Amino acid sequence: MADAGIASRRDCERMIEEGLVEVNGTLVATLPAWVDPEEDRIVVDGRPLPAPARPIYILLNKPTRTLTSARDEPGADRRTVLDLVDHPGAGQLFPVGRLDFDTTGLLLLTNDGDLANRLTHPRYGVPKVYRALVKGQVDLDSIGSLEEGVKLTDRRDGKTIGASKTGPVEVAVVHREADKTVVEVTIREGRNRQVRRMLAALGFPVKKLERIAMGPLRLKGVQRGYWRELTRGEVQALKRAAAQAGRSAESGRRKPA
């Protein structure tokens, strides 16, 4: 019921206890109540529960100058990621996390809210890998500073409310020339423009930024500006990674002081 948008989980439980829910013509007023939404006919306060939407998982290779949003602000006319996805279920989709307007690469679009939350919430720490072309030579000292964390300002409602250190990251140098370096940065948070801000804070402005991985999902099999549905194996791998991250987060919270 909550997944269908009827109400919050707590309110849905209250509605069941108040006798407002029928399953296959039988009143259900006690918890827990087990049903199969694909097989059982559920009626809530006299109205049939809509059939569950088929889970959809889309990998988009996001191009530059594209807004990571379902729609733009009124009066603006910027291209959004959903403008690029010609799929029958596109109206149900939302982006998992965000990529900056000029950042390219892997973006997952889905209607699976639970999986999206586990992939993006910093509590679970699912890794995201970015490849950045920066100005200057990234030396060992700078790599160490990045890996230990960089202090960044925190903002809320357009105002600076303080500063805090980023969590540990992993950094690998892919290519180095006299005046530029290509690095891969793995983060487990999701701060606004985090990779760009971390590198800029150490004196390495980002010239190009691309996300190449999210958990076990890699950017492959799709050209820039195009999309494809995930394979069954990719969906299963994402769900396993999200479940493992959830177990690790729960274990960390239960660890004795």
Digit-coded pLDDT (tens) for 177-205? 999 999 999 999 988 999 999 999 999 99
Digit-coded pLDDT (tens) for 5-63? 677 777 888 899 999 999 999 999 988 888 877 788 999 999 998 776 789 999 999 99
19: left (phi over 0), alpha (psi -120 to 50) or beta: left
36: left (phi over 0), alpha (psi -120 to 50) or beta: beta
pLDDT number for residue 247: 67
Given this chain, do its domains 54-125+215-250 and 127-214 carry the same CATH topology? Answer: yes
DSSP 86: -
CA distances from residue 251 to 121, 255, 256 in whole angstroms, order as listed: 16, 6, 10
Domain ranges in the chain? 9-48, 54-125+215-250, 127-214
Residues near 191 by Cβ (< 8 Å), separated by ≥ 6? Answer: 152, 166, 197
Q: What is the mean pLDDT of the chain?
A: 90
Q: Does position 256 have pLDDT exceeding 60, yes or no?
A: no
Q: Does position 142 have pLDDT exceeding 60, yes or no?
A: yes
Q: Which of 160, 165, 125 is nearest to 147 (CA)?
A: 165
- Give the global pTM: 0.79
DSSP string over 148-178: H--EEEEEETTEEEEEEEPPP-EEEEEEE-S
Q: Which of 198, 32, 227 is nearest to 130 (CA)?
A: 198
pLDDT number for residue 73: 85
One-letter identity of residue 28: V
Which residues are known catalytic residues? 100
pLDDT number for residue 250: 61
Helix ranges (DSSP H) in the chain: 9-17, 113-120, 140-148, 194-201, 232-254
Digit-coded pLDDT (tens) for 62-94? 999 999 998 888 888 899 999 999 998 888 899
Homologous superfamily assigned to 127-214: Alpha-L RNA-binding motif (3.30.70.1560)
pLDDT-based confidence at 246, cuts 50/70/90? low
- Does the domain made of 54-125+215-250 have the CATH classification 3.40.50.150? no
